[in-house]
Amino acid sequence: MRKQKQNAKNIIKMLKFVYRLLCRVVYPECCPICDEVAPQQLTGDGVARICPTCRPKVTPVQTPFCMKCGKPLIEYAERVEYCADCKRIAHEYTQGRAVYVYRGAIIGTMHRLKYNHRQDYAVALARDAYERLGSWIERIAPQVIVPIPLHKKRKKTRGYNQAQLLAAELSRLTGIPMDADLLQRTMDTRPQRELSASERKNNLKKAFQMSKKSVQLEKVLLIDDIYTTGSTVDAVARVLKSGGVRQVYVLCVCIGGDKGEE
C-alpha cells in the first residue's frame, strides 16, 4: 500500500516535470495574464510581457501612493502621505513599493505563479517591476536583493519559491547580487490570510532567522509576491535589523488598495 502511494507520488512528480517542460516549449515567452504568445513577442525582442489586450485588465500602482508601503491612496479631501494602515502601524521596514494593485486579472496570475507551476511568469513580472521601479532601486542602491524565504518543507512540496524566482530575475536585470540564503524560515506558519491582525503578528514571531551571524550590510531590498498588511516583511525586517542591517526596503509585485479610515 505504502509502495503504491510512493509510486503514485513519483508519477505525479514526473508529470509535473513534463508539464513544466511542455509549458516552456509551448509558451516560451507568453503573456502571464492570458497565456497567449503576443504577436510582437514573436517578431520583436521575444521577451515575455503582458500583452496589449491584457494591459487594461491590470492596474499598475500610480501616484499618489503611500510613502511608506507604496499602496495607492484613495482620494482624500486633503493631500496625505500615508495610507490608513501606515498611519496606524509603525512598520519595521524603511520603505516599500509595488508594481500592481492586487485586483482583476493579476490575481489569477499570482495564483498560477504560486500554485500551478508557472515559474515562467516570474520573468515577465520581474521585468515589469524593473521597468516601473528600476530607478527607485537605483536610488536606494541596496547591496543585496533578498527573497522572502519559504519554509523548506513548503519549498520542497511546491518545488520552488516564487519570491526567489522574482528576486533572481531582478538581480540579473539590476546587476545587484541576490542572497537567497541570508534568511531562513524556521517555522512553517499558518497562511497569513486565515488570521486576524494580532494573530498574524504572533504567528510570525520567531518565524525567521538569519543564517549568517554577522553581515555587514547597510541596505537590503526584500522581494515578495504579494503585500497585504506588511506583517511578514515587518517580521523579516526586524530580524535583519537585529543582525545589523540598517535599512530594509521592500518590493512586491502586488499590493492591496488603501481601505481608508475606519
- Residue 21 neighbours by CB distance under 10 Å: 10
Distances (CA, A) of 197 to 70, 173, 232: 19, 35, 11
Amino acid at 238: R
Q: Shortest distance, CB of residue 141 to Zn ion, whole angstroms?
A: 23
- Write down the least CB distance from residue 223 to Zn ion, Å: 18
Contact between residue 214 and residue 85 where contact means Cβ atoms under 8 Å apart: no
Set of cell numbers at residue 237: 525586517
Question: What is the distance between the alpha carbons of residues 54 and 33, in angstroms, rounded to a whole number?
Answer: 7
Name the phi and psi angles at 107, rounded to 5.
Answer: -60, -45
Write out the H or E segment, with its range, that includes residue 184: strand 183-185
Tell the smallest beta-carbon distance from residue 94 to Zn ion (Å): 13
Q: From the CB of 19, what's the least distance to Zn ion, in Å?
A: 21
Q: Would you say 54 or 129 has its CB closer to Zn ion?
A: 54
Provide the minimum distance between the beta carbon of 240 and Zn ion in the complex, in angstroms, as a whole number.
20
Contacts of 76 (CB under 8 A, 6+ apart): 260
Whose Cβ is closer to Zn ion: residue 41's or residue 174's? Answer: 41
For Zn ion, give the closer residue by CB, 91 or 114.
Answer: 91
CB of 34 to Zn ion, least distance (A): 3
In the complex with Zn ion, which residue's Cβ is closer, 54 or 106? 54
| CB closer to Zn ion, 71 vs 114 | 71
Q: Residue type at 228?
A: T
Task: Let me know: does 142 contact 240? Beta carbons within 8 Å.
Answer: no
Q: Write out the DSSP string of 137-151.
A: HHHH--SEEEEPPPB
- What is the contact surface with Zn ion in residues (CB under 5 A)? 31, 33-34, 51, 54, 66, 68-69, 71, 83, 86
Distance CA 112, CA 83 (A): 29
Q: Whose Cβ is closer to Zn ion: residue 58's or residue 217's?
A: 58
Closest CA to 133 of 85, 61, 66: 61
- Which of residues 132 and 151 has its CB atom nearest to Zn ion in the complex? 132
Q: Edge-to-edge strand order for the sheet containing 247-255?
A: 95-101, 247-255, 219-227, 144-147
CB of 241 to Zn ion, least distance (A): 19
